[in-house]
Amino acid sequence: MIELDSEQQAARDWFESLRTRICAEFESIEREAGSDASFDYIAWDRTDPSGEHGGGGVRGVMKGRVFEKVGVNVSTVGGSLEGDFAKTIHGAAEDPGFCATGISLVAHMANPHVPAVHMNTRFLTTTKRWFGGGADLNPPIPYEDDTRDFHARLKAACDAHDPEHYPRFKQWADDYFYIPHRKVHRGVGGIFYDHLEGDFDANFAFTRDVGDAFLDIFPEIVRRRMGMAWTVEDKARQLEWRGRYAEFNLVYDRGTLFGLKTGGNIDAILMSLPPEATWG
């Protein structure tokens, strides 16, 4: 076990409790669809490049009737960042020591009318301390009311803390979740924030509200769409869109790079990849 201070422990406890609530809600949706699918949990340990124990996490994966593949992972890792990579991490150029705790979720849905989704929140400590994360909706077949309701719920969470949060973090998501070589956005956006530092209590409260907002709105959208009929053409559109999703995560996603560079669990890092995809 790596040693955590009170702030790191509080963040870790929250991320793990959010994982438990999300997984329970997703399993409830499967029951409503007549499925007995449930999450399989696999614990993993990390060894720091120094040879010391560097924390670990739990990978949770469910494959069901509604959720074709959903991963909800929690991890708490620490140690030293290596070489030039340390210079790319906020506050690590001066000292490569770090601790990172967080939750990461990606859901790929069986029905093409149900949007895929990504959510993660995290607390990182180097010589700086900050929260980051967000959530974004990724529908193969977009619906205006789904997009509107998803953004409205995230906006409400942001507005409760700072009226500047939503426009800033929405634009950050639009800029970040973009595939330059395709010249398209990955989905219909959401919010993305990073390096939120200074007042731990305020930033932690905001991060908790982002997690609660996600848990409030995404299951509602799933239930809205999961019973819709779909065609072969709809499925083909979904599989092509998933190819775009995979391209972004493998080429541009900073979280994927961070996991690989810090010796994280490969299966947990790549759980974001869809179970099936096509390229034209």
How many residues in total does the chain contain?
A: 280
Of the candidates 235, 233, 161, the residue with the CA atom closest to the CA atom of residue 202 = 161
- Which pLDDT value is given to residue 234? 98
- Which pLDDT value is given to residue 11? 98
Q: Catalytic one among 118, 151, 165, 185?
A: 118
Q: Which residue has the higher pLDDT, 260 or 43?
A: 43
132-153 pLDDT, tens digit per residue, is 999 999 999 999 999 999 999 9
79-131 pLDDT, tens digit per residue, is 988 888 888 898 888 899 999 999 999 999 999 999 999 999 999 999 999 99
Arithmetic mean of pLDDT, 1-23: 96
Of the candidates 98, 69, 71, 75, the residue with the CA atom closest to the CA atom of residue 15 = 75
Q: Examine the residue annotation and report whether 151 is marked as an active-site residue of this protein.
A: no
- pLDDT value at 44 more than 80: yes
What is the distance between the alpha carbons of residues 80 and 262, in angstroms, rounded to a whole number?
8
- Which pLDDT value is given to residue 215? 98
Least confident segment among 79-88, 234-243, 244-253: 79-88
Contacting residues for 120 by C-beta, under 8 A, at least 6 apart: 102, 103, 104, 105, 133, 134, 135, 255
Least confident segment among 124-128, 177-181, 191-195, 260-264: 260-264
- Which pLDDT value is given to residue 238? 98
Contacts 24+ apart (CB under 8 A), 193-201: 193/131, 193/132, 193/133, 193/134, 193/165, 193/168, 193/169, 194/90, 194/130, 194/132, 194/133, 195/90, 195/128, 195/130, 195/132, 196/130, 196/131, 196/132, 197/128, 197/129, 197/130, 197/131, 200/7, 200/129
- Which pLDDT value is given to residue 257? 83
- pLDDT value at 280 more than 90: no
Least confident segment among 45-54, 114-123, 153-162, 270-279: 45-54
Residues 6-272, CATH architecture? 3-Layer(aba) Sandwich (3.40)
For the chain, the structural domain boundaries read: 6-272
- Which pLDDT value is given to residue 24? 98
Least confident segment among 38-52, 112-126, 156-170, 185-199: 38-52
What is the distance between the alpha carbons of residues 136 and 218, in angstroms, rounded to a whole number?
10
Of the candidates 123, 99, 122, 128, the residue with the CA atom closest to the CA atom of residue 262 = 99
